[in-house]
């Protein structure tokens, strides 16, 4: 497993703050930015994008994953998320699942209670790795 000290969290948080400054949050006024490193060394980021129909609002993690896919894909290895004050935020449950879908094994998240792996913040998750195991047992 990768250790949190292997990543430049200062730069990662600064990238998340920069993304947060581009958030579209006219309704809640709660801007959010997210940034992550990929397994090939790229940095991806995203911000929340609200909508008058609140249910179609996109969390910052959603636009981060869009940036990941548009940049060629890959897997996330380190992640942080910040609010309008630059304070660390914990992804909601939906976004934890979204991050899990695109995570390298052992993805490290910068959380309000310290560094945690994706498996610690989403225990017993279901995603691509579980489907791979299922397919292997069916072959």
The DSSP line for 14-54 is HHHHHHHTT-B-TTT---EEEEEEETTS-EEEEE-B--SSG
* Band of residue 1 on the pLDDT scale cut at 50, 70, 90: low
Q: What pLDDT, in 10s, does the model give residues 26-78?
A: 999 999 999 999 999 999 999 999 999 989 999 999 999 999 999 999 999 99
| Mean pLDDT rounded to a whole number for the chain | 94
Distance (Å, rounded) from C-alpha 19 to C-alpha 13? 10
Distance (Å, rounded) from C-alpha 21 to C-alpha 93? 24
Q: Which two tokens stand for residue 110?
A: 């910068």
Integer CA distances (angstroms), 7 to 38, 56, 109, in order: 11, 33, 11
Burial 53-79, CB ≥16 within 10 A → b, else e? eeeebbbbbbbbbebbeeeeebbbbbb
Task: Judge whether 61 counts as a catalytic residue.
Answer: yes
pTM of the model: 0.92
| Catalytic residue chosen out of the listed positions 61, 101, 120, 136 | 61
Distance (Å, rounded) from C-alpha 62 to C-alpha 65? 5
Distance (Å, rounded) from C-alpha 81 to C-alpha 92? 11
DSSP state of 86: S
* Nearest by Cα to 38 from 81, 76, 4, 80: 76
pLDDT of residue 3: 83
pLDDT value at 8 more than 80? yes
pLDDT value at 133 more than 90? no
Q: Which two tokens stand for residue 88?
A: 């660390």
């Amino acid at each position: 497993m990768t250790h949190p000290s292997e990543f430049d969290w200062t730069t990662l948080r600064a990238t998340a703050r920069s993304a947060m400054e581009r958030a579209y949050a006219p309704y809640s006024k709660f801007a959010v930015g997210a940034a992550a490193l990929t397994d090939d060394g790229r940095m991806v980021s995203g911000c929340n994008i609200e909508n008058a129909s609140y249910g179609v609002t996109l969390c910052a993690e959603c636009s981060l994953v869009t940036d990941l896919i548009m940049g060629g894909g890959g897997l996330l290895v380190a992640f942080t998320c910040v609010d309008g004050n630059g304070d660390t935020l914990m992804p909601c449950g939906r976004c934890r699942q979204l991050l899990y879908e695109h995570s390298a094994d052992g993805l490290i998240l910068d959380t309000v209670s310290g560094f945690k792996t994706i498996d610690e913040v989403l225990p017993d998750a279901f995603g691509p790795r579980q489907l791979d195991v299922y397919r292997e047992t069916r072959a």
